[in-house]
Amino acid sequence: MTSRTVRFNWQQVLFGLGEMVISLPEGSKVYGVPRAGQILAGLLASRGMVPTEDPDEADAIVDDIIDSGRTLSNWVERYPSKPFLALVDKRDMIGSDPRPYIVFPWEYPDQHVKDGQQAVVRLLEALGEDPNREGLRDTPRRVFKAYQELTEGIDLDAGEILSTVFDEKHDQMIVVRNVGFWSLCEHHLLPFSGDATVAYVPRGKVVGLSKIARLVRCFAARLQIQERMTEQIAEELQRHLDPLGVGVVIRANHTCMAMRGIRATGEMLTSALRGVFMQPEVRAEFLGLAGR
């Protein structure tokens, strides 16, 4: 998957509306969850439903998307006897990781960009700053653009990166050392950086050197924790190359620890081993070549 954006057309929306009202009697009152759910409530009027601004008197609650399920849980807890209907349920998108960003016909093409920039404005205001002062006027645009760049890995597909392989009978360990990266800690949205050493013992297939660096970036350029990133790199290399084994070591410094909280520096080391790399002698050889 090279892009996470899926654009719905009106035909898909109308079909979805039909699916939503199957279980509702004609004339049912529907309450739309602000803001996009209110648009759907208005559209459902053409299907015999009656929009209402009072959720207490509604027969059903409607929204555009069930994403994480958090909004759904809140409304179901509040109105357990009322159905919660959505145009799209991302939880049904099995095998889609990461799940796509949905854009509906009534949304501006760059609405998510505008929403992101506005979120930065609200953050500045919450911190007691004036977003309109000279030094901050263009900050929301710059900040959102920077975070887009720092998380562009969510649009990259490890399978596509590793899709070009070469038949080769080389059966010794291949090690790519010190692949530098930057990532964002998902707990504080602060950066951590370091380098990755990636190794594998091929089983008749090898991959270009640059693909290893691209694979590291694929998982670094997103909201991450170092432990998961290490496992993801190893898992995808094992899955797509089917080597005899894989070894990954990552070392990094985390500004979320150095800049706040305990305010102490320290290097974190993580490793992930697959296949023959679990054997003591192979593990020792890899760690020796990795310089750890």
Active site residues: 185-188, 226, 254, 256
| Exposure string for 114-148, b = 16+ CB within 10 A, e = fewer | eebbeebbeebeeeeeebeeeebeebbeebbeeee
- How far apart CA 175 and CA 172 sit, in angstroms, is 10
Give the tokens for residue 183.
């990532």
Which residue from 212, 183, 214, 179 is spatially nearest to 290, judged by alpha carbons? 179
Distances (CA, A) of 252 to 138, 169, 263, 285: 31, 34, 16, 22
Mark out the alpha helices in the chain (DSSP H runs).
Answer: 10-21, 36-44, 70-78, 111-126, 139-150, 158-161, 209-220, 226-241, 255-258, 280-289
- How far apart CA 201 and CA 210 sit, in angstroms, is 17
